[in-house]
Chains A and B, each alone.
Chain A
Amino acid sequence: MSALTVPARQGENAGPRPVPWRAMAWVTWRQHRLALAGVAAMFGVAALYLLIAGLPMHRAYAPLVACHPAGKASCQQADGTFLSTYAPGVGYVLGLAQVIPALIGAFAAAPVLARELETGTFRYAWTQGFGRTRWAVAKLVLLAVAVTSAAGAFSVLVSWYVHPLWAAGDNNGPLYPTIFDLRGVALAAWTLAAFAIGALAGALIRRVVPAMFATIAAWAGLAFATGAFLRGHYAAPLTSTKAGVNTHRAWVISQVWRSGGRPATLDMIRQTLHAIDVQAVTPGLFQPGPATPANVDPVRYLVQHGYTLVTTYQPDGRFWPFQWIEGGWLLALSLLLFAAVVWLVRRRAA
């Protein structure tokens, strides 16, 4: 009895002309229009808010531009009033906007594969003539491009929104953690990464709700770790031992007093400043007392008494290099995650 011989028509390339890619446009739209509408609604509401809150701010800012000369005391005071009126509110809005990528990852990306796998419809989708690999690639590309472009457009609006604050002299520059990832290419890159994380979580976990939570958790961990540990190392930070260094709009990573080649403790600083009746609340916050001489600056006083203020910072001019670095590695990470999703779809057994 001879073994079963499988005829030689093995070449996968010799198959029929494939179903055109454009067929997936309607499929993707029909299956994910609710998620896309949700993303559009979220960006729409957020954009509307930025416009409604931003237009009065821009109107209030217009007279400040006209104030001449800029260094005049009344102009400075107007700037200060403007900042104290608007800066806190803007801070809250920017903080809230941080969650945008996570929501997109959880609600638009995680269900893409998880729902098919959870309800069994992948048995329908993956046995159609289109082919499961192309099906997965087409869906991921179309949806990722859609949400990433929306995020990119939104970040332009964010830049417009925060511009008056910086122009009026707000100390938080473009590298400040809650604004850095909402402008430039970063918001689009973070949205893409969140989308890729969501798609992979869905393919791995195969159930919609757990995949959504996993997406939010993974994205939050990555975003926090990046801001806390990674971003500061994109380029070696500048270090200054000059007490009066201008750190305006720079991202100050650390500022410590040193004395005699060693870090100065708060107690040492307190003892030194006791002579001029200045209370050191922290190494950076000094409270003059009633006996403090009128023309003594505590910082200069410490420098005169052998202290050195060591400031480590990233200057605001590094905004765009940092944007490209962060955008670049997030793009690479996203492509890697997408490749993992496609690989999982290919090898996933029914």
Chain B
Amino acid sequence: MNVIEASGLGKRYGSTWALRECTLAIPAGRVAALVGPNGAGKTTMLNLAVGLAAPTTGVVAVLGGWPAGSPAALDGIAFAAQNTPLYKNFSAADMLHLTRNLNRRFDQGYAQARLDELGIPLKRKTGQLSGGQQAQLALTLALARRPQLLVLDEPMATLDPLARHDFMATVMTAVADDGVSVVLSSHVLAELERVADYLILVSRGMVQAAGEVEDLLACHQVLTGPAAEAGRYAERLSVVHARHGGAQAHLLVRTSRTAGMPPPGWEAHSVNLEELTLAYLREPAAGALPGPARAMRAGRAEVAK
């Protein structure tokens, strides 16, 4: 099952395309990170997936085929929006009560235990909670709905490092305990590297690359060799990003599984997630999007030329 499946998805606000020709399939059971610079279209993509916005072109289906925003989709997806919108004059207990009333399932015991553990007083107004506590409360509300898919839009943008760590710990506990699928967006990579096993890179409203982190790493390598020869190889290999340091050139390239040994005089290194992501962020025009049909056929995304 794919938790989010988009085909030719596009969204235009006025005359500006926030998202264009987005085709992807995020399989269930992953922690998928949606990474891209500010204004890349991450929020638009998530809004389309949770049914807050309607697509201008294309379709988006969730949880194995339900239209985004349909009752079944709303029932199975819990969404925590950017800047944690909570009713500021509601107490934490009121927010629990409210969310319980607005959903078919709500695990009151879980929610209360979580807030107790986090030291968030039930009687305190949400407007008087710290940023970290507000984010944790929003996350608790979402998880207590026992969703199949948890969608988080920039959940940690306003949190300090400690609060970020605690927040991700809560998410990962839910993943481990309940097998909930997670899609979260961020422009900060560091906090995702340890947790994400699926990556979607977006830039300027387009998906650049999407796939299992493992596959993406396996399909990219850094070639280091004489700068003088870099131009020659750049023509033959698909270079995502080239960096020149003195006489040496570092080329981050896409390779196929059948790729042979590096050319003589060149050294190949495997890449880590940060290098890979930064390379794509630096080259908004680079694209390595696998065909989603292929992704579905193979059961997992594969990056190939």
B50 contacts A by Cβ under 8 Å: yes
User: Residue of B at shortest CB range from A16?
Assistant: B75
B53 on interface, CB distance cutoff 8 Å:
yes
Residues of B46-103 contacting chain A, CB below 8 A: 47, 50-54, 59, 61, 64-67, 70-72, 74-75, 77-79, 81-83, 85-88, 90, 94, 97-99, 101-103
Q: Chain B, interface size: which category?
A: 35 or more
**Minimum C-beta distance from B249 to chain A (A):** 33
Name the interface residues of A18-37: CB closer than 8 Å to any CB of B: 18-19, 23-24, 26-27, 30-31
Q: Are A19 and B77 in contact (CB under 8 A)?
A: no
Check B292 against A23 for contact (C-beta < 8 Å): no
8 closest A-B pairs by beta carbon, nearest first, are A7-B65, A350-B52, A15-B71, A15-B72, A123-B81, A128-B102, A129-B103, A4-B7
Q: What's the least CB distance linking B286 to chain A, in Å?
A: 20
- Flag if A119 contacts B85 (CB, 8 Å): yes
Contact between chains at A127 and B7 (CB < 8 Å):
no
Known A23-B102, A123-B81: A129·B145 in contact at CB below 8 Å: yes
Chain A residue at minimal CB-CB distance from B73: A15
What is the bound-complex CA distance between A113 and B66, given in angstroms? Answer: 28
B140 contacts A by Cβ under 8 Å: no
Question: Cα distance A320–B74 when bound, in Å?
Answer: 48
Question: In the assembly, what is the distance between CA of A2 and CA of B71, in Å?
Answer: 29
Cβ B53 vs Cβ A349 within 8 A: yes
Chain B binding surface, main DSSP class: mixed
Q: Contact: A123 with B102, CB < 8 Å?
A: no
* Candidates A16, A126, A349; contact of B104 at CB < 8 Å: A16
Q: Does B293 contact A (CB under 8 A)?
A: yes
Complex Cα distance, B291 from A26, in Å, reads 48
By the criterion CB–CB under 8 Å, are B7 and A6 in contact?
Answer: yes
Point out the residues of chain A lying under 8 angstroms from B78, CB to CB.
127
Point out the residue from B23, B64, B79 that lies within 8 Å of A4, measured CB to CB. B23
Please give the residue numbers on chain B whose beta carbons come within 8 Å of chain A beta carbons, in ascending order: 5-7, 11, 13, 23, 25, 47, 50-54, 59, 61, 64-67, 70-72, 74-75, 77-79, 81-83, 85-88, 90, 94, 97-99, 101-105, 138, 145, 291-294, 296
Closest residue to A27 on the B side, CB-wise? B101
Determine if A30 and B74 form an interchain contact, defined as CB atoms under 8 angstroms apart. Answer: no
Q: Closest chain B residue to A134 by CB distance?
A: B71
* A304 to B180 CA separation, bound complex (whole angstroms): 97
**A7, A12, A19, A350 — most chain B CB neighbours (10 Å):** A350
Binding site for B on A (CB under 8 A): 1-4, 6-10, 12, 14-19, 23-24, 26-27, 30-31, 119-131, 135, 347, 349-350
CA distance A257 to B229 in the complex (A): 107
- Contact A7 B102, CB 8 Å, known A128-B74, A129-B74: no
Q: Which residues of B contact A123 (CB under 8 A)?
A: 52, 79, 81-82, 85
- Complex Cα–Cα for A124 and B64 (A): 23
Contacts of A4 in B (CB 8 A): 5-7, 23, 25, 292-293, 296
Nearest CB in chain A: distance from B291 CB, A:
5
**Contacting A130 at CB < 8 Å: which of B86, B102, B292?**
B102
A4 to B72, CA, bound (A): 21
Complex formed: what's the CA distance from A2 to B74 in Å?
29
The residue in chain B whose Cβ has the minimal distance to the Cβ of A127 is B79
Residues of B within 8 A of A124 (CB): 81, 85-87, 138
Give min CB distance, A311 to chain B, whole Å: 58
Q: State the CA gap A119–B89 with chains docked (Å).
A: 12
User: Roughly how many angstroms separate A173 CA and B161 CA in the complex, as a whole number?
Assistant: 74
> Could you jot down 18 A-B contacts, CB within 8 Å?
A4-B5, A4-B6, A4-B7, A4-B296, A6-B61, A9-B64, A12-B67, A12-B71, A15-B75, A30-B97, A30-B98, A123-B52, A130-B101, A130-B103, A349-B13, A349-B52, A349-B53, A350-B52
